[in-house]
Copies of this chain bind each other. A is one copy, B any other.
């Protein structure tokens, strides 16, 4: 939080690293190839960042902002009642360009305490949003937690689970599941 001066190419490194992470996963966030792509020597990387890990942390921080307030603001802008807003949330979440980045970051979180904390903060923020909507629908605390976790699992599961549904569309299956979870 606060105090970073906007150096011209620090942001360029972070953007390039984010794209590499989306395209090729963690292994593609490699200093030398990134330097080549940016048209500088890899030596210059170490002016902006302590090491590769610091670059990953910067990508993580950017993802945190976009993955919480970014998406929630867009849901609120679209409007509708509580159930509409939850449906909008998963639609935006599933259309998101940052899905592959999110996947890679959740994988990192499995083995890195700091990454896990950031992911937990993002999940907390999103779950709080889901909980608030379910409360508006009149569910009690226990129901809010069970149905809320199931709704959020649906959103996460949607891009992690690689299964087909016969002639039914995934969109339809999830809409039906939401219907069950949003109805008493």
Chain A interfacial positions (CB closer than 8 Å to B): 23-27, 99-100, 103-104, 106-111, 116, 119-120, 123-124, 127, 142-143, 145-147, 149-150, 152-154, 156-158, 160-166, 168, 173-174, 176-177, 179-181
Contact = CB atoms under 8 A, between A and B. Distances in A.
A77 to B, nearest CB: 24
A124 B163 contact: yes
Given A26-B27, A146-B180, 9 more contacts: A26-B26, A103-B106, A106-B160, A145-B166, A146-B174, A149-B177, A152-B161, A153-B154, A156-B157
Return the 3 tightest CB-CB contacts between A and B, nearest first: A153-B157, A146-B176, A120-B162
Contacts of A152: 157, 161, 163
B104 A107 contact: yes
A30 to B, nearest CB: 10
Nearest to A121: B162
A120 B162 CA distance: 5
B153 A150 contact: yes
A149 B164 CA distance: 10
A107 B107 contact: yes
A89 to B, nearest CB: 14
A157 B165 contact: no
A149 B173 contact: yes
A58 B164 CA distance: 25
Contacts of A177: 146-147, 149-150, 153
Given A24-B111, A103-B106, A153-B153, A116 B162 contact: yes
A168 B180 contact: no
Nearest to A119: B162
Contacts of A108: 25
A176 B142 CA distance: 8
